[in-house]
Amino acid sequence: EVQLQESGPGLVKPSQSLSLTCSVTGYSITSNYWGWIRKFPGNKMEWMGYISYSGSTSYNPSLKSRISITRDTSKNQFFLQLNSVTTEDTATYYCARSHGGYPYYFDYWGQGVMVTVSS
């Protein structure tokens, strides 16, 4: 069974970097696409970006140059780094798998990790 689990600090100070890990079991991250999605207080959902089976990435332009998604295939993990965070980055962060050979929809999700940006 495919399982994803996010981990990382629940509290980050403004202007610092947010770093999260998604650990995947039951499926190799060298197949499919793997993404990060966040849900803000008030329920708005935002797709942040993905990393492909080959390691290529695509990001939401709204995040400009603040975001980076990388991976460690030996550990079957992929990572999110978001720089220069503000209180507006407070959200629940999910990692998810896109089904098949193209990132159309997300068929497996992690349980989510709540991150608060506050001094």
Partner 1 sequence: DIVLTQSPATLSVTPGESVSLSCRASQGISTSIHWYQQKSNESPRLLIKFASQSISGIPSRFSGSGSGTDFTLSINRVESEDFSVYYCQQSYSLPRTFGAGTKLELK
Read off the amino acid at residue 89: D
Beta carbon nearer to partner 1, 22 or 73: 22
Per-residue contact flags (x/-) with partner 1 for residues 47 to 76, judged by CB under 8 A:
x----------x-xxx--------------
Beta carbon nearer to partner 1, 11 or 45: 45
Residues 57 and 51: beta-carbon distance below 8 Å? yes
Reported as type and span, the H/E element at residue 41 is none
Report if residue 45 touches partner 1, rule: CB under 8 A.
yes
Beta carbon nearer to partner 1, 25 or 105: 105
Burial class from Cβ neighbours inside 10 Å (0-12, 13-18, 19+) for residue 53 reads middle
